[in-house]
Structure 1
Amino acid sequence: MYNAILPIAELAVHPLRELLNDEFHARPPMPLSSPVLVSHLVFTQDSSALAVERNRLCRLGQTQSGKLLTSSDTCLVFDGGSFLLRWELHTEFSSYTVFRSLPPGDPRNSEATALDVLPTEWLRTLPGEMIVATHVELRSSGELSPESVTARLTPTGRQMVAAQVADRAAWVFSDFIFDQGFSRFIVLDVSLTQRQAGRTVQRLLEIETYRLLALLALPVAKEVGGWLTGAEQQLAEMVDHIGQASSPGDEREVLADLTRLAAEVEHSVARTTFRFGAARAYHDLVMQRIDELREVRVAGCPTFHEIMQRRLLPAMHTCVAMANRQDDLSDRLARTSQLLRTRVDVELERQNQEQLTQMNRRARLQLRLQETVEGLSVVAITYYASQLVHYLAKGGKILFPEISPEIAAAVSIPLIAGFLMLGIRRMRGRLRQAEDSEH
């Protein structure tokens, strides 16, 4: 018999398994029923402010009667009774979303927001720099009809972005213009379920958040664009100088300029790579969330997809163009440096060839001198050796009176010279063999 229950507790579990699964289920949409007011604040900050944020959230829990519904390192939901506060931590920003439900049939007040229920002093001390601030008003189409919203549009007024979403289950209106520092959305519920309403509101908040975060790269792109124009001109001048260089000093000067410009380009690439990459990712998220809305056009108003194509996409194209120009300039610098190195290498090879030719010439001269010296050495050694023979013959004349010392010295001269030349030749042969064996 086999146990049908897998003994999970007895298996080796990956330490990140629970964390990865929790991340997969993180940040689900809040179920909403109209009427409800939603306010959304986003702050850019570094990771060092995480502890400060969590302390302030805990302080809010101490000053307000309520309880924590969920709590993790990246998401916290606080139930304050009359409102819900949701805090989320992302890669480079954190967000605070406040949900404030209204009584059915509550008269509409355009000045009311979900932030009204939070302590003003607590809001003022939120850490970081605010990048997104938006209000969403979810109303039933029975309370506020779509016709009453579109009737207020005039040819000279604000351009309203409108669409029917979620298979015509709701109407969405916005103009993406700041009103008292906040952008605003109106969502008219026709037949949304609570989950649909929560997903629709969350998508709108994410569209606004990622829209502005994507545009953070535009000032960087404009700054880089102005600098790239000058850098490209410098590179063109350096290429001309390479062609005009007439000495190693000129080439060293051009190489120093190329190295300096390459360092500046790589610094700019390193400084902007994250920002441009993040802009592309945020733009993709914006367009993905818009596609999830499943828009249907409202007569006389552009859709969210159209307004992003018209106003956000050109900015993203500018960022992509600047990133491509940086990469292209870096590649051109690498090719120019390679060209200069090739020129220097060719010049070095020519100089080395000249040096080898001179060394060969010197070696031949040294060989001739050596042969001359060897010849003189043979003559000198032969002379001294014959003198030794002469002295020996003189000393031996007492024993062999018939031997003439002069004749003995004369006879020994060719023998001594022959033996010396043969010895030198054999020594040269041995040296050649030793040299060949080393190679």
Structure 2
Amino acid sequence: MELRNHPLRQRLNDEVHTRPPIPLEAPALISFIAYTRDDHDLEAERSHLAQLYERLGLPIEPSAEATHLIIDCGRFKLKWEMHGEFSTYTFFAAPLQAPRSGETALGAAPADWVQAIPGQVIAAAHIEFLTNTSPTPTEMVWQLSGRGDTQIISQIAGEAAWLFTDLRLHDGFSQFTVIDESLGRQRGGRTIQRLVEIETYRLMALLAFPVAKAVGKLLNRAEAELAELIDRMVSAATPLDERTVLADLTRLAAEVEHSLANTNFRFGAAAAYYRLVQQRIADLKESRVSGYPTIKGFMERRLAPALNTCAAVAARQEDLSARIARTSQLLRTRVDMELERQNQELLSQMNRRARLQLRLQETVEGLSVVVLTYYGSQLVQYLAKGSKELHHLNTDVITALSIPLIAGLLAWGTHRMRRKLAAEEGEAH
């Protein structure tokens, strides 16, 4: 039986199986680098990976749609993952020297190829994954106890392993030491992956912190300007003053909306990354070692305040935009009411002019009746003079008698015409 599949079914099903952790068994070395990536760097990145395939003599090259690869390079393994804003390169190698000697998995990779990876490094870490025999967790705690800098020591994975780090950069890399007690290959791979994800996501989340500082300065100035504009709006005495305030308010609204458009994604991404950090820390299942902070405690003291600042600035920016919109609406209402008042005055003036024009028209109509009566009586007089010889009529008497008759007919006709026009206008409305 053949079923009609959705065109995205296979891709969606494969998505939950992407980026699997590589099973690890101690001892092992892991080096991790995350590069921020622009859209135009994607083809360069795939081309760079293809160069590694060619360099190693591997027959298969990455496809144009691949989002993760695991490449067996002999001396080391490389796991490449493509994310929305960054790409990660994780190198795995077996140690050749004694533990704590400074050996890294990155040392097994071609240095020139690593240096030519496109993008900018946002996170990098070296991880030593050791057995619990040399050194033992107790020896590690004793070695680190005399250091003045803050050391993070905790038991993770339900006390199946020990974690040691200070989350500081040493020659550009964070340093982690994980001592395995009873992890197993699968849990070991998942634990290492959670650590590198915590390191990456915490730094990606902190990308919003400098943005929040810059936006905070803008908000301080914009809020002070908004308060000043509100005072000017209250004290505005003329329509010109209100229009000036509205123009300044529109300019301020454009600045804030421009800032929102530029920073909204960064603040939203920071919140999403921070949630991932919290989830990965919960997945570590840490247990506290007396006298030392845990990853969770460190993040709550150091990372959480920065991300809370970003969230507060984002909310403050949204609130300022809403306040400006409300103030603009209020001012536009005032301007509209003033325009309506002016329009009412204009209509009143037009009504007065129309009434005056109607009176003038009625006066002109009266004069027209007089003029037409005069010309009509003249016509009657001419007719009477022409027929005088026939009927021996007095032309002056005939003319005098015709005047009121002509005037009455004209007045009646004018009145009837006015009523007809008024009726037609009423039907039109």
Offset at residue 343 of structure 1 (A):
1.1
Work out whether 1:100 is the aligned partner of 2:100: no
Work out whether 1:297 is the aligned partner of 2:288: yes
The answer as to whether partners of 1:176 and 1:184 remain within 8 angstroms in 2 is yes
Offset at residue 384 of structure 1 (A):
1.0
The answer as to whether partners of 2:49 and 2:62 remain within 8 angstroms in 1 is no
Work out whether 1:220 is the aligned partner of 2:211: yes
Q: Tell me which residue corresponds to 1:59.
A: 51
Offset at residue 156 of structure 1 (A):
5.8
Offset at residue 92 of structure 1 (A):
0.8
Match of 1:177 among 164, 168, 171: 168
AA aligned opposite 1:283: Y
Q: Tell me which residue corresponds to 1:34.
A: 26
Change (3 A) 1:150 1:70: farther
- Could you list the per-position Cα deviations for residues 228-284 of structure 1 after superposition, in whole angstroms to 9, with x for gaps in the alignment? 111111111111111222223222222221121111111111110111011000000
Unmatched 5+ stretches in structure 1 = 1-5
Change (3 A) 1:192 1:70: farther
Which stretch of the first structure deviates more once superposed, 322-331 or 152-161?
A: 152-161
- Could you list the per-position Cα deviations for residues 153-190 of structure 1 after superposition, in whole angstroms to 9, with x for gaps in the alignment? 33762222122222211111211011111101111111
Q: Tell me the distance in 2 between the aligned counterparts of 1:93 and 1:376.
A: 92
Q: Tell me which residue corresponds to 1:373.
A: 364
Equivalent residue runs for 1:379-390 within 5 Å: 379-390=370-381
Q: Tell me the distance in 2 between the aligned counterparts of 1:69 and 1:298.
A: 47
Q: Tell me the distance in 1 between the aligned counterparts of 2:379 and 2:51.
A: 117
Q: Tell me the distance in 2 between the aligned counterparts of 1:210 and 1:110.
A: 28
Change (3 A) 1:68 1:183: farther
Q: Tell me which residue corresponds to 1:431.
A: 421
Aligned-pair identity (%): 54
Q: Tell me which residue corresponds to 1:3.
A: none
Q: Tell me which residue corresponds to 2:83.
A: 90
Q: Tell me which residue corresponds to 1:236.
A: 227
Equivalent residue runs for 1:139-158 within 5 Å: 139-154=130-145, 157-158=148-149
Q: Give TM-score scaled by structure 1 length.
A: 0.94
* RMSD across aligned positions (CA): 1.7
Q: Tell me the distance in 2 between the aligned counterparts of 1:317 and 1:296.
A: 25
The answer as to whether partners of 2:127 and 2:178 remain within 8 angstroms in 1 is yes
Q: Tell me the distance in 1 between the aligned counterparts of 2:80 and 2:144.
A: 35
Equivalent residue runs for 1:302-341 within 5 Å: 302-341=293-332
**For 1:108, what is the secondary structure of its paired residue?**
coil
The answer as to whether partners of 2:191 and 2:284 remain within 8 angstroms in 1 is yes
Change (3 A) 1:190 1:430: same
The answer as to whether partners of 1:386 and 1:412 remain within 8 angstroms in 2 is yes
Match of 1:286 among 257, 277, 294: 277
Q: Tell me which residue corresponds to 1:421.
A: 411
Q: Tell me the distance in 2 between the aligned counterparts of 1:68 and 1:225.
A: 50
**For 1:98, what is the secondary structure of its paired residue?**
strand
Unmatched 5+ stretches in structure 2 = none
Q: Tell me the distance in 1 between the aligned counterparts of 2:368 and 2:215.
A: 78
Q: Tell me which residue corresponds to 2:119.
A: 128
Which stretch of the first structure deviates more once superposed, 282-291 or 17-26?
A: 17-26
Q: Tell me the distance in 1 between the aligned counterparts of 2:291 and 2:61.
A: 43
Offset at residue 315 of structure 1 (A):
0.4
**For 2:388, what is the secondary structure of its paired residue?**
coil
**For 1:428, what is the secondary structure of its paired residue?**
helix
Q: Tell me the distance in 2 between the aligned counterparts of 1:335 and 1:120.
A: 59
Q: Number of aligned pairs?
A: 428
The answer as to whether partners of 1:65 and 1:81 remain within 8 angstroms in 2 is no
The answer as to whether partners of 2:243 and 2:335 remain within 8 angstroms in 1 is no
Match of 1:79 among 66, 69, 72: 72
